[in-house]
Amino acid sequence: MKKEIIISSLNDMERLAGLFGEKAYPNLVLLLSGDLGAGKTTFAQFLGKKLGVKRNITSPTFNIIKSYKGELPIHHMDCYRLEDSEEDLGFDEYFNDGALVIIEWYTYIEEFLPESYITLDIKIMNDQRIVTLEGTGSKNERVVKEIYEEFTD
């Protein structure tokens, strides 16, 4: 079941990311889509902040994968540069070492993605953002439902 959340400010985005920080569990994979400037990296930064990451989270466009220490370790990927590549950067390892994984431009590594994940699609509409959430697998469906209910409470 898809859930739509309306984000009207950076503060709303921080609150949404904060809820993900509360529900995050080892090996949770978050797939982020949306145009350049939609707010994917900003969401990752707020999520890292909630999980106590001390380092500054910056866009991994050039490195593709950056890892951080927090209450949960985080792998932050930006697969934009892999558009025309079939290369496996050892993704399986990243999905199975107990970290939270956040992926921007995930459609470029579709063949390497795990079975269960949560997608967040961010669309800019006028001066708001619509974030569409969808979880695969019963656990992720439940997480999405809980986050939706707590956000809109």
User: Which of 41/119 has CB closer to ligand ADP?
Assistant: 41
- Phi, psi dihedrals of residue 14, rounded to the nearest 5°: -65, -40
CB of 54 to Mg ion, least distance (A): 21
Q: Give the contacts of 91 (CB within 8 A, at least 6 positions apart).
A: 109, 112, 113
Q: Is 39 one of the binding residues for ligand ADP (CB under 6 A)?
A: yes
Total binding residues for ligand ADP by CB under 6 A? 15
Token pair of 87, please? Answer: 């290369």
Write b or e for each residue in 102-140: b if 16 or more Cβ atoms lie within 10 A of its Cβ, otherwise e. bbbbbebbeebbbebbbbbbbeeeeeebebebbbbeeeb
CA distance 78 to 106: 8
Binding mask 133-152 for ligand ADP (x = CB under 6 A): --------------------
Q: Pick the binder of ligand ADP from 50, 75, 76, 129 (CB under 6 A).
A: 129
Element (H, E) at 114: none
Binding mask 5-24 for ligand ADP (x = CB under 6 A): --x-xx--x-----------
- List of residues contacting ligand ADP (CB under 6 A): 7, 9-10, 13, 34, 36-42, 59, 104, 129
Which residues make up the interface to Mg ion (CB under 5 A)?
40-41, 59, 104
